[in-house]
């Protein structure tokens, strides 16, 4: 069950003029979290901003003895709420509600896990990669951004033993192009008897492209959606998406039935059109 805790800022690591990692003292939330789940945070006391903001749980923080002490969020400032989180100071109060949503399900060997991240879409994959490492599952991270300035934390995945495939649209790091380019080439070289599950998070058009590639190559694909959320618990219906099920299409709340979905069930035309 999710809990709402009065977390405090433990540290604020500014990665660039736009990105930061915010560490929160919320052990009750962190202990219950599974890969791909999210939290709703109140970015400031009072009524401005009124609504909480959803964030994928980035890291589970532990002390020197391995005890869980909190969690972190990967933040990119693009508006009022995210700017407040960028400017937060140690000791500041940040109400944190979670963990919320349906998580990723890590695959076991001999299956392979291929993670596809665009920009801050990297956030849910740290906990997934740790779960995969614990299972001994071979993993690859396809990581893309507009430029090198949009890519962080890639070395963490290498330390876990993941194969790393980096792309940037301007060619400032890794291969120039979009992250789906290396993915398409890698899928084309796979033998039919090699089990690979795809996991994707990032801009909606990117996730649709990953879903299309997965379908074309017969690979199960899971995506973590990032719709606008007002409450995170299904009460406001702001995060409704359309899914295909036996008997027709249905509207579901992504904070309850997601954010992780089997990509084959999503009605992508409606989803991309809504973004």
CATH of the domain at 58: 2.40.30.10
State residue 169 phi and psi, 5-degree precision.
-65, -30
Residue 272: the pLDDT is 62
Both tokens of residue 120? 């801050």
- First CA to last CA across the chain, in angstroms? 30
| Distance (Å, whole) CA 68 – CA 211 | 35
Residue 275: the pLDDT is 32
Parent domain of 187: 112-270
**% helix, strand, coil for the chain, step of 5:** 25, 35, 40
Residue 273: the pLDDT is 45
Q: Which of 80, 100, 120 is the last residue of a domain?
A: 100
Residue 206: the pLDDT is 97
Same domain, 128 and 251: yes
The per-residue DSSP string of 115-148 comes to: EEEEGGGGTTHHHHHHHHHHHT-EEEEEEEESSG
Q: Which of 44, 74, 100 is the last residue of a domain?
A: 100
Same domain, 81 and 122: no
CATH code: domain of residue 133? 3.40.50.80
For the beta sheet containing 196-201, the strands, ordered from the edge strand earlier in sequence to the opposite edge, are 175-176, 163-168, 138-145, 112-118, 196-201, 221-224, 260-262
| Distance (Å, whole) CA 45 – CA 218 | 48
| For the chain, counts of helices (H) and of strands (E) | 8, 16
Same domain, 116 and 92: no
Residue 105 lies inside a defined structural domain of this protein = no
Same domain, 144 and 14: no
CA atoms within 13 A on the CB side of 174: 24
Predicted TM-score (pTM) of this structure: 0.94
Q: What is the pLDDT along the chain (275 residues), one digit of tens a residue?
A: 899 999 999 999 999 999 999 999 999 999 999 999 999 999 877 777 778 999 999 999 999 999 999 999 999 999 999 999 999 999 999 999 999 999 999 999 999 999 999 999 999 999 999 999 999 999 999 999 999 999 999 999 999 999 999 999 999 999 999 999 999 999 999 998 999 999 999 999 999 999 999 999 999 999 999 888 889 999 999 899 999 988 899 999 999 999 999 999 999 998 864 43
Structural domains of the chain, count: 2
| Distance (Å, whole) CA 164 – CA 143 | 7
| Residue 67 DSSP label | -
């Amino acid at each position: 069950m999710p809990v709402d805790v009065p977390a405090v800022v433990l540290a604020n690591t500014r990665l660039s003029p736009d990105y930061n990692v915010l560490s929160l003292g919320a052990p009750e939330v962190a202990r219950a979290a599974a890969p791909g789940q999210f939290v709703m945070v109140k970015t400031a006391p009072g009524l401005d901003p009124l609504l909480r903001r959803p964030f994928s749980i980035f890291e589970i923080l532990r002390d020197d003895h391995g005890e869980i002490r909190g969690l972190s969020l990967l933040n990119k400032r693009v508006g009022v709420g995210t700017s407040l989180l960028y400017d937060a100071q140690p000791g500041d109060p940040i109400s944190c509600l979670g963990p919320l949503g349906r998580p990723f399900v890590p695959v076991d060997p001999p299956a392979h896990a291929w993670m596809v991240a665009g920009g801050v879409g990297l956030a849910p994959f740290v906990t997934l990669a740790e779960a995969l490492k614990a299972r001994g599952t071979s993993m690859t991270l396809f990581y893309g951004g507009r430029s090198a300035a949009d890519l962080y934390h890639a070395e963490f995945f290498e330390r876990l033993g993941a194969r790393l495939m980096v792309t940037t649209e301007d060619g400032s790091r890794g291969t120039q192009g979009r992250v789906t380019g290396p993915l398409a080439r890698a899928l084309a070289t796979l033998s039919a008897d090699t089990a690979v599950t795809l996991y994707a998070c990032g801009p909606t058009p990117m996730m649709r492209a990953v879903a299309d590639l997965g379908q074309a190559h017969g690979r199960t694909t899971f995506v973590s959606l990032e719709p606008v959320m007002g409450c995170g618990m299904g009460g406001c219906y702001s995060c409704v998406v359309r899914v295909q099920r036996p008997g027709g299409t249905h509207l579901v709340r992504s904070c309850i039935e997601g954010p992780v979905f089997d990509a084959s069930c999503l009605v992508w035309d409606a989803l991309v059109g809504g973004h």
